[in-house]
Structure 1
Amino acid sequence: MNNDTGYLLVVHGSRNSQYQIYLDTLANLTRQALEKKAIKSHLETAYLELSQQSLGQKITEFAHFCHEKGYKQIKILPLFLFSGTHVMEDIPEEGAIALKNTSKIGIDIKILPHLGSEDSVTDLLEQKYQKYPNHTRLLISHGTRLEKGKKEAQLLAQKTSAKLAFWSMNPCYDQTIIHLLESGTKNIAMLPYFLFPGKILKAIALRAEEIKNQYDNVNIQIIDPLGATPELADIIVENLLKQ
């Protein structure tokens, strides 16, 4: 089935070359998931930051390409997990720039709700936690200064029956781990709520191991982040097609 829509997946960006490998893998898995549904379209990825071209320039370039291919619209899916500044301000601003730049070609540009707003992502986290029964659940987020994003993090923790902690703000993850262990908790399943592995996750794992070694008979399991998986690709396709 031919589709009149081009798809652009937007991530924050990173200088780590492994990050691009993860993103390319996820993009390929998403293309395969579209093909399984017999949908012929065009999908690319873009960085919000740390790229030689701005996101507005990338969207403009992508819109012109899709227009030449006969597509009537492009859908932009921010692969962000909470309503932080990037989702609420930066991406819409870049989209507005691209919309102005492409006003003469008549292609529709639609920014979809960010990935983390979908219930299917919550279900995926629940599946990850269920591999560790009888463990106290700990959800670790990067953190955001926007109140809306904080409330989303709190709600996600409630839905998955997890304690909530942050990497960049209070309550900080390491102090939360210490508090749990001091309170008598012996088994912790810790899920870093990030898109891909990276330096932050390595730092979290190292600090968790340091804390663990200070206590007797405790177990701290570190669950993989969302990652470049077929399951996440299916969720992305679900979001692209339903809106």
Structure 2
Amino acid sequence: MSVVLEQQDLQLNRSYDAYFLVVHGSQDLHSWLVLQELIECANAIGDVVVGGGCLEGQPSSLSQQIQDFCAEICEEIYEQGDTEDINVAVVPLFLLSGVHVMADLPSEVAIARQKLIGSFAHLDRQITLEIVPHLGTHPDIPALLKSIFEMETSSLKEQFEHTNIGLILLSHGSRRPEAVQSIENLASQLGAIAAHWTGTPTLDAQIEQSIAQGRDSIVVMPYFLFAGEIMNAIAKQISLYADRIPIYIAPIPFSPAQIADMAIDLVN
């Protein structure tokens, strides 16, 4: 088997025989369990085999996880008597085009490609790895976030008669200016202001700005794929303002089923 070294990733120019979902990962077992749930959801959508791996937090590197997945599906397809070449879509489950998406992931995929060359020559088969657009590019995301903000603000208006509600879209943050700007643009679409857990403007700065503007309450939407320890940290930080302004944390906007559905939709 040979491996095609794609010169231009992020281009949907073929049909795929398998999808490999990539999440950030962590030392926490919960991250791995969430990935398994995503894989299960994605496998239930169609007839294309789906696997996945973590960029961080696993005993083996992402490149090795990709190699293991390719070996497994290649043998499986070969045993089924299929003689066609195999195209694998590597799907980045990230909301921002940060360093992980633009540098770390392509580097790991490049390593996997190189190491796969000649590994399965006995099968006389060509396998292609191609990175597709990251999840944050899905066109339905703005409307989904807007609907959640509207639901939260409607509840506050009905229960507490709040009329001057500040909206904050809280992202993880990135060292890449382009990624930061994308969050600023998204927040603007939603009638919100952007804050970043790592980077500026910070959540504290945006809360203070909202207070200075005379807001009577604030809704913070965590723009993350998964709930984790970071949610506890956000709640703790927000609690410091309890005697100054009511601040409400909206739910994580994505369920595993939604993430899987959007990921497959992007590939197709």
The TM tier, using the shorter chain, reads 0.7 to 0.9
Residues 83, 149 of structure 1: 8 Å contact kept = yes
The CA deviation at 1:79 is 0.6
Residue 112 (structure 2) aligns with: 98
Residue 231 (structure 2) aligns with: 201
Give, in whole Å, the separation in 2 of the partners of 1:230 and 1:200.
22
Question: What is the TM-score normalised by the length of structure 1?
Answer: 0.88
Residue 174 (structure 1) aligns with: 204
Question: What is the TM-score normalised by the length of structure 2?
Answer: 0.80
Q: SS where residue 40 of structure 1 aligns?
A: coil
State which drifts further: 101-110 or 135-144: 101-110
Residues 66, 74 of structure 1: 8 Å contact kept = no
Give, in whole Å, the separation in 1 of the partners of 2:257 and 2:65.
26
Paired positions, count: 231
Residue 191 (structure 2) aligns with: 161
The CA deviation at 1:52 is 0.8
The CA deviation at 1:4 is 5.5
Residue 69 (structure 2) aligns with: 62
Residues 226, 232 of structure 1: 8 Å contact kept = no
Amino acid paired to 1:182: A
> Which of the residues 30, 41, 54 maps onto 1:29?
41
> Which of the residues 137, 140, 149 maps onto 1:129?
149
Give, in whole Å, the separation in 2 of the partners of 1:137 and 1:87.
27
Amino acid paired to 2:238: A
Matched, 1:222 2:249: yes
Structure 1 vs Structure 2 CA RMSD: 1.8
Residue 10 (structure 2) aligns with: none
State which drifts further: 78-87 or 230-239: 230-239
Summarize deviations over 1:41-90 as a string: whole Å, max 9, x none: 21112010111111111111111222223261111111111111111111
Long gaps (5+) in structure 2? 1-14, 78-84, 119-124, 154-162
Long gaps (5+) in structure 1? none
Residue 11 (structure 1) aligns with: 23
Residue 40 (structure 1) aligns with: 47
Matched, 1:80 2:126: no
Identity of aligned residues (%): 30
Summarize deviations over 1:176-232 as a string: whole Å, max 9, x none: 112212321012111111111111221111111221x222xx432211223433333
Give, in whole Å, the separation in 1 of the partners of 2:250 and 2:183.
18
The CA deviation at 1:25 is 2.2
Amino acid paired to 1:66: I
Q: Which runs of 4+ in 1 moved over 3 A?
A: 226-229
Residues 197, 227 of structure 1: 8 Å contact kept = no
Residues 22, 93 of structure 2: 8 Å contact kept = yes
Matched, 1:192 2:199: no
